[in-house]
Amino acid sequence: MKSLKKILFILISFISCSAFAQNHKAGKKVVFIIVDGIAEDMLNKAEIPNLNRIKKDGALLKAYVGGEKGGYSETPTISAVGYNSLLTGTWVNKHNVYDNDIKNPNYSYPTIFRLFKDQFPDKKTAVFSTWEDNRTKLIGENLEATGKVKMDFSYDGMEKDTLNFPHDKQSKYIRKIDSLVAGKAASYITENAPDVSWVYLEFTDDMGHRHGDGDILYKAISFEDRLIGKIYDAVKGRQAKFGEDWLFVVTTDHGRSASNGKGHGGQSDRERNTWIAINKPNINSYAKNNRVAVTDILPTITNFLDLKVPVEIQQEIDGIDLLKSRTAYHLNAQLSDKVLKVTWKTTNPSDEWAEVYMTETNNFKNKGKDAYQLLGKTKLGGGQFTYPLKTDHSDIYKIVLKTKEGFLNTWINTHTK
């Protein structure tokens, strides 16, 4: 009888453990953090042990914002503009957020949250933010134009609560809100582990505008680094306890003015040059050897999460994955005497055949479809392709290079002719 009871006890324990394992099945999860207004060179002037910890686990990459300087995709180095370039993987000529007013975003270009919810409606998303507009305007929660995308958890809007957070000239209230936002992110991730989370922290940008280069700003960067550390500790704790696979990315939205560090918005190197900290060591050759773009974060996330992004959206995304192998990058096109010349760079020699497509419409902008014509095939390692056009009177030419690793796209329009 005792032997039977022992066997039953072991069987029940095994079933219970199996049920627990099913309920806590290890999966892929993402946290990305935007810390506002920290130029690349400022990281060398502040104490940043937690960013260095992420670097040790993965990499700290040189990056840029601002699109193609002087080209069709040149993008203001302004906060909300940078956020949306990350969220959509596109530059301002597509997402249409030119400043912090966020008057008319083009929701035809979906954010990471919409892409994720379209495929995994039952999985969980969260936003922790010191600026409510990130959720209401950029993500476009509950708007018809975004398909009424809904965040499963949000912690924001405190900047509008002037009773509990009275606005002071030194922005101490923003420092307090940042601390609360990061603390909530850390505790919520520890307890609930949402599948995709965005954390936004603002205090560094306020200190930049008020004080510019100097100890006050550098100490603000160190303050934000401590908050990043709390969130990273939460992720590391989840990894250790449940074996989950977390992608953890930290970046900034713009640099600062070269003269004094107070301003931003232009196209100087210091305003454009940023950074990306990522906890994965297996970055690809493109990321190791180039200054990567803020638009590269979205395809890195979608590929990590194994999202099936529709082809028509893949053809519009301006970034490429930082982790999976990528041979071709930096697609460019020129039109002269009705001859289209397409060029690209490669990370290594390749005998792969690639396909070049073109359309003379931009219907995608208005939620329509563009009919791409196959112009021809070419060896990827050659780095170029030419094609004689019958006419060169179109207002826009959208060119796509298709490889086995994905798509690259570029435009020719009236601003680049």
The confidence score (pLDDT) of residue 3 equals 53
> Is the Cβ–Cβ distance between 112 and 301 less than 8 Å?
yes
- Per-residue pLDDT at 416 exceeds 90: no
Query: Buried b vs exposed e over 227-261: b needs ≥16 C-beta within 10 Å?
Result: bbbbbbebbeebbeeeebebbbbbbbbbbbbeeeb
Domain residue extents for the chain: 26-314, 328-413
- Per-residue pLDDT at 393 exceeds 90: no
Average of per-residue pLDDT across 331-339: 95
For the chain, how long is the longest CA-to-CA vector? 94
Backbone angles phi, psi at 313, to 5 degrees: -85, -40
- Per-residue pLDDT at 10 exceeds 80: no
The confidence score (pLDDT) of residue 414 equals 62
- Per-residue pLDDT at 331 exceeds 70: yes
Average of per-residue pLDDT across 245-264: 98
Q: Count of CB atoms within 10 A of residue 331's CB?
A: 20
Instruction: Provide CATH code, domain 328-413.
Output: 2.60.40.10
Residue-averaged pLDDT of the chain: 94
Average of per-residue pLDDT across 19-47: 83
Indicate the pLDDT class of residue 392, thresholds 50, 70 and 90. confident
> Is the Cβ–Cβ distance between 290 and 63 less than 8 Å?
no
> Is the Cβ–Cβ distance between 177 and 165 less than 8 Å?
yes
The confidence score (pLDDT) of residue 391 equals 84
Choices 3.40.50.300, 3.40.720.10, 1.10.630.10, 3.40.50.10090: CATH for 26-314? 3.40.720.10
- Per-residue pLDDT at 263 exceeds 60: yes
- pLDDT tens digit string along 372-386? 999 999 999 999 999
DSSP 325-385: ---EEEEEEEEETTEEEEEEEESS----EEEEEEES--GGGGT-----EEEEEEEGGG-EE
According to DSSP, the residues that pair with 277 across neighbouring strands are: 60, 250
- Per-residue pLDDT at 152 exceeds 50: yes
Q: 146: which 2 tokens?
A: 């975004």
Indicate the pLDDT class of residue 23, thresholds 50, 70 and 90. very low
SS3 152: coil
Indicate the pTM of the whole model: 0.93
Residue type, 394: S
- pLDDT tens digit string along 165-205? 999 999 999 999 999 999 999 999 999 999 999 999 999 99
The confidence score (pLDDT) of residue 415 equals 53
**H or E segment and range at residue 17:** helix 2-23
The confidence score (pLDDT) of residue 7 equals 46
Indicate the pLDDT class of residue 125, thresholds 50, 70 and 90. very high
User: Which of 245, 205, 220 lies closest to 83, judged by CA?
Assistant: 205
- Per-residue pLDDT at 21 exceeds 70: no
> Is the Cβ–Cβ distance between 396 and 360 less than 8 Å?
yes
- Per-residue pLDDT at 412 exceeds 90: yes
Indicate the pLDDT class of residue 274, thresholds 50, 70 and 90. very high
The confidence score (pLDDT) of residue 272 equals 98
pLDDT exceeding 70 applies to what percent of the chain? 93
